[in-house]
Structure 1
Amino acid sequence: MIAAAIDLGTNTFHLIIAKSDGGERGEPEILFKTNLPVRLGEARINQQEIIPAAFERGLLALEGFAEEIKKHNVDAVKAVATAAVRSAANGQAFVDAAKDRAGITIEIISGEEEAAYIFKGVEATGLVTDCSLIMDIGGGSTEFIICKPGEVLWKHSYNIGAARLMQGFFKSDPLSAEEKEAIIKHLDTELPELFKQCAKWQPQLLIGSAGAFESYAAMLNPGNHNASIAITPFRTLADKLFKSTHDERTKMEGLIPLRVDMIVMAALLTNYVLDHAGIPELKLSTYDLKIGVLYSLLKCS
């Protein structure tokens, strides 16, 4: 069976096409993968609107994905839309236009469903060996999953994605002390339940799901993006990001253009969680939501 998974994120659209070996637990063979910086949440995510330019970029990306799917003779396709589409007043209009123009049927998933797919993807890495907290920082939302091998203990999706925080608070260059304080106060009101659950379950590992965590790894270990992100070097990197200007960040090795500004919000959010959850270890999972969607299609364990 050949399957295609499409993840319509707030910042990036992902396509991955893979072939199952037919076994219950076999690793699928990746035939094609790509991602495009669509920036669907550009400018007005906090106003619940996909602006016309972003709307068109998204449709063009999906038209290209449809061509790749056709080339690879795909048997099954699953496309899921997350925070930017589910929170937008014109989100359903985007879904309808995608069907008309690209022939792709999109399922708008809830934050809870998104977290479940993220867990499935991260679990496939084998990193979940004890009680862990998975964190996936998106543009529109951030998902948290407390889990142990084979089991989700608690999960929740919060509307505190990097693009949403950036548009709501990040107006200075570099980030001002006042803006940083305002973001922290906002997180104080949003995340008490997360830390209540952390106190209950005592996760000992924070697993960062792809995205910003891949950027941390690339910046800390140029040319060697391993699965460990030592906390002390990360804290130093975060402080450097908070003090940097936009132009300075564009020159930082390992930081892709799409994340030049949003990485500041991601680092602040990661720092905040490490501070309040008291977790002693941080690792990167390169598997995330799209792998979870793919594995659900291929029935991989």
Structure 2
Amino acid sequence: MQNESMPGKNKRVAVMDLGTNTFHLLIAEGPANNFTEIFHTQEGVKLGEGGINEGLIQPAAFERGIATMQRFRDHLLDHHVTELRAIGTSALRNAKNGQDFITAVNEKAGIQIELISGDQEAAYIYNGIDASGCLTDRNALIIDIGGGSVEFIIGNEDEILWKQSFEIGAARLMDMFHKVDPIPVISIKAMTSYLNGQLADLFAAALKYRPRILIGSSGAFESFAEVIELEAGRKFDLKKTRNYEFDTDDLLDLIERLAKSNHAQRAAIKGIIPVRVDMIVVASLLTIYIMQKIGVADVAMSTYSLKEGVLAQMLG
């Protein structure tokens, strides 16, 4: 199934977001600003496992990725998709054998992967967040914590003011700093020092544009919201949630608990999906680090991200 449009009355489109940890497939139809989700699945492929910082997709991860793409192809056929875009991001951008994976997927699943830059990734994430309706006239700092990269975008409902992708994703940070569980204080300090060195461009942009709210794009932020709501005894359905505003105290309490937890304790928490059980620690620490550095207490979450941004363009 190549990335091409076929004639038909109903345009049924699919987006694959092929991330470092998780592969997503979203099938939808209808108008860009109010599309109908036909089918959504995600698989914890962990493409970066064992080789993320060496720039290599390990054989087991390579095979998991191929098998997932073959299953995704079957879903496309089952749902009569007329147009597809399969987007490759950080792990495929940086892996020495990323092109080998792209070729193998084309040969074995008939899907052509489109490799995008970090800058394109940030632009699609902004489009997704914008489509969710959570942006206003005040400047926001959007953060999308992926496994391989983290995208930061400063913007409002009218425009992107600044954007940049950094190769400091949760899988990379975990590989570098979260080697002992619970994560030791000395490792947190080392990670903080590392981030200070990596994110100078972000801090300069924040000084210039002064964002007043932090908006987390899907991923770990979905888990934060779900855990907080379930623990408060409230019903929470991510499928029916586009946007969510955090109580800052609840969020900070949860981050502190996650930072002090071990694997078994995190695995027992309702609302954290298995692929996120370990990476949520560095994602939590990155979140509070950014809040403190930028001086932002208001935090929100959107369930929309890259795939909805691509979808909006396809349906637009």
Smaller-chain TM-score range? over 0.9
Counterparts of 1:270 and 1:143, CA distance in 2 = 13
1:233 Cα offset (Å):
1.4
Counterparts of 2:143 and 2:308, CA distance in 1 = 15
Whether 2:243 is the aligned partner of 1:236: answer no
Q: Is the 8 A contact 2:173 2:282 kept in 1?
A: yes
What amino acid does structure 2 have at the position aligned with 1:158? F
| 1:12 corresponds to | 22
What amino acid does structure 1 have at the position aligned with 2:182? P
Whether 2:117 is the aligned partner of 1:107: answer no
Counterparts of 2:96 and 2:294, CA distance in 1 = 35
1:26 Cα offset (Å):
4.7
What amino acid does structure 2 have at the position aligned with 1:179? S
- Fraction of identical pairs, as percent: 45
Counting only pairs closer than 5 Å after superposition, residues 65-214 of structure 1 correspond to structure 2 as 65-129=72-136, 130-214=138-222
Counterparts of 1:114 and 1:26, CA distance in 2 = 20
Counterparts of 1:32 and 1:215, CA distance in 2 = 21
Aligned match for 1:246, one of 263, 269, 279 = 263
Where do 5+ consecutive residues of structure 2 fail to align?
A: 1-10
* Residues 162 and 26 of structure 1: CA distance in aligned 2, closer, same or farther (over 3 Å): closer
SS at 1:41's partner residue? coil
Aligned match for 2:236, one of 217, 224, 236 = 224
TM-score calculated relative to the size of structure 2: 0.92
Counterparts of 1:87 and 1:120, CA distance in 2 = 24
| Residues 27-83 of structure 1, C-alpha deviations (whole Å, 9 max, x = no match) | 122111111111111111000000011101111111011111112221110000111
| Residues 1-41 of structure 1, C-alpha deviations (whole Å, 9 max, x = no match) | 111100000000000111125xxx55122111111111111
Q: Is the 8 A contact 2:33 2:131 kept in 1?
A: no
* Residues 212 and 26 of structure 1: CA distance in aligned 2, closer, same or farther (over 3 Å): closer
Whether 2:62 is the aligned partner of 1:55: answer yes
SS at 1:124's partner residue? helix
Counterparts of 1:7 and 1:178, CA distance in 2 = 35
TM-score calculated relative to the size of structure 1: 0.96
SS at 2:181's partner residue? coil
| Residues 101-137 of structure 1, C-alpha deviations (whole Å, 9 max, x = no match) | 0000001111000001100111011111021110000
| Residues 75-104 of structure 1, C-alpha deviations (whole Å, 9 max, x = no match) | 110000111110100000000000000000
* Pairwise CA RMSD: 1.1
What amino acid does structure 1 have at the position aligned with 2:277? V
Counterparts of 1:108 and 1:6, CA distance in 2 = 12
Counterparts of 1:297 and 1:286, CA distance in 2 = 19
State the number of aligned residues: 296
221-230 vs 81-90, which deviates more?
A: 221-230
| 2:305 corresponds to | 288
SS at 1:43's partner residue? coil
List 4+ stretches of structure 1 deviating above 4 A. Answer: none
Counterparts of 2:117 and 2:265, CA distance in 1 = 37
What amino acid does structure 1 have at the position aligned with 2:160? V
